[in-house]
Structure 1
Amino acid sequence: MSDMQDASNLTELINTMERMEREKAKVSVDDVVHAVGRRSFGPLLLVAGLITLAPIIGDIPGMPTLMAVLVVLTSVQLLIGRETFWLPKWLTKRSISREKFDKAIRYMKKPAKWVDSLLGVRLAWMTGYIGIRVTAVMCLLIALAMPPMEFIPFSANGAGLALTLFGLGLVARDGIMLSLGFLLTGVTFTVVLINVL
């Protein structure tokens, strides 16, 4: 069972990742997924968003696309009713050095308490059965658009922030955060379209 099953904020998620097995020289996608739980859509979205946003990890070429694949797979499986998310080995074996991972965790810890102070159980109906699936559809659209976003400055960061807001909203049952995620998604897609057309 995941340590994240009762987590309700960003600090708890970061602490869970920080406590992961420290003997390994590398941290794999499987290590992170195992830590947050294969049943946990909100925490997985939050992890994907944070990794895309973190300068130390998110700036690695191809990392936003890798996180997009994670979001696509989990979103589709949630929509078809799977209770445990399956991920292919080629994805779960991808890894980064423990040093880079720890550095990113330290970077994320600084604003985590401030972010948590903004969270609360608000518009909780948006995080119910239908709300989660509407969020999954939106995350699916974001993830499908993320690979080309790597070539448009800062647009992948907008996608990462939107995923982070959706993840926070689901973890904390905060409909305001989900609403901000929907708003930011619209702004990000508008920016991308302006740059493409």
Structure 2
Amino acid sequence: MTAQSGHQPVGDIVDRLEDVVQRDNISLRDLFEEFGESSFLPALMVPSLLVVSPLSGIPLFSSACGLTIAFISAQMLFSRKHLWLPDFLMKMKIDGPKARKAVKKMRGVGAWIDRHSRNRLSVFVARPVRKWLQLLCLLCGLAMPFLEIVPFSSSLLGGAVTLLATSMLARDGLFALLGSIAIVAAGVLVPMGVMGVI
């Protein structure tokens, strides 16, 4: 199913985020409560989209998003029915104007993803493979706190998680492959950045 047929999973998530960020001060709890405790994939897309946004420049923000991605992915991996996140993450505050600016930037990314995602190559998002995709998201989330010192590395991993989450939402195997390739690219480029090669 394509965006042209009216189904816009990422755009719908951005719309709902836009409603929440109209407040002056927002916590991660406010963002996640918008989606409910059983909406794992939308919840996974929230921190992955945020870390791709300009908010990733805030110190420790990428770490918080990474840990959030790891907690959500781990619970998906073990097939929990209801999402739980620790208070120290849920209480994290985001400045309202910065959040609104970030969500505005997300809209273009979301529109592009929705235009190009559709149900295809379903073998790469079938149930056994989905566990692998969830594990990749978990590993990306766990890596982010260690990459604070490497510019844009967390955003690259956040983009990969966004692609993987979209692949599971839209049953799009091509996006699963693209997300996996992005993770491999990060695995090559990040160490090169640390060593000063690039």
TM-score normalised according to structure 2 size? 0.87
Gapped regions of structure 2 (runs ≥ 5):
1-6
SS at match of 2:94: strand
Q: Output aligned runs, 1:149-164, within 5 Å.
A: 149-164=147-162
Contact preservation (8 Å) 1:155, 1:192:
yes
- Structure 2 CA distance for aligned equivalents of residues 21 and 100 of structure 1: 9
Residue 132 of structure 1, CA deviation: 2.2
- What's the C-alpha RMSD, in Å, of the aligned pairs? 1.9
- Structure 2 CA distance for aligned equivalents of residues 53 and 186 of structure 1: 17
Q: Output aligned runs, 1:78-117, within 5 Å.
A: 78-117=76-115
Counterpart for residue 50 of structure 1: 49
Counterpart for residue 172 of structure 1: 170
Residue 33 of structure 1, CA deviation: 1.0
Residue 19 of structure 1, CA deviation: 2.3
Contact preservation (8 Å) 1:27, 1:98:
yes
SS at match of 2:34: helix
Counterpart for residue 25 of structure 1: 24
- Structure 1 CA distance for aligned equivalents of residues 141 and 112 of structure 2: 27
Which amino acid is the alignment partner of residue 169 of structure 1? S
Counterpart for residue 4 of structure 2: none
Deviations 1:131-189 (A, max 9, x none): 32111111111112111211122211211111111122122221111110001101101
- Structure 2 CA distance for aligned equivalents of residues 157 and 62 of structure 1: 13
Residue 21 of structure 1, CA deviation: 7.4
- Structure 1 CA distance for aligned equivalents of residues 58 and 121 of structure 2: 36
Counterpart for residue 3 of structure 2: none
- Structure 2 CA distance for aligned equivalents of residues 183 and 113 of structure 1: 21
Contact preservation (8 Å) 2:21, 2:99:
no
Counterpart for residue 67 of structure 2: 69
SS at match of 1:37: coil
SS at match of 1:186: helix
Counterpart for residue 187 of structure 1: 185
Residue 8 of structure 1, CA deviation: 4.6
- CA distance change for structure 1 residues 25 and 177 in 2, over 3 Å: closer, same or farther? same
- CA distance change for structure 1 residues 111 and 137 in 2, over 3 Å: closer, same or farther? closer
1:126 to 112, 124, 127: 124
Contact preservation (8 Å) 1:68, 1:144:
yes
Deviations 1:4-44 (A, max 9, x none): xxx7521111111122374x421111111111232223222
Which amino acid is the alignment partner of residue 131 of structure 1? V
- Structure 1 CA distance for aligned equivalents of residues 142 and 125 of structure 2: 23
Residue 87 of structure 1, CA deviation: 0.7
- Structure 2 CA distance for aligned equivalents of residues 132 and 27 of structure 1: 32
Contact preservation (8 Å) 1:48, 1:163:
no
- CA distance change for structure 1 residues 148 and 30 in 2, over 3 Å: closer, same or farther? same
Residue 104 of structure 1, CA deviation: 1.2
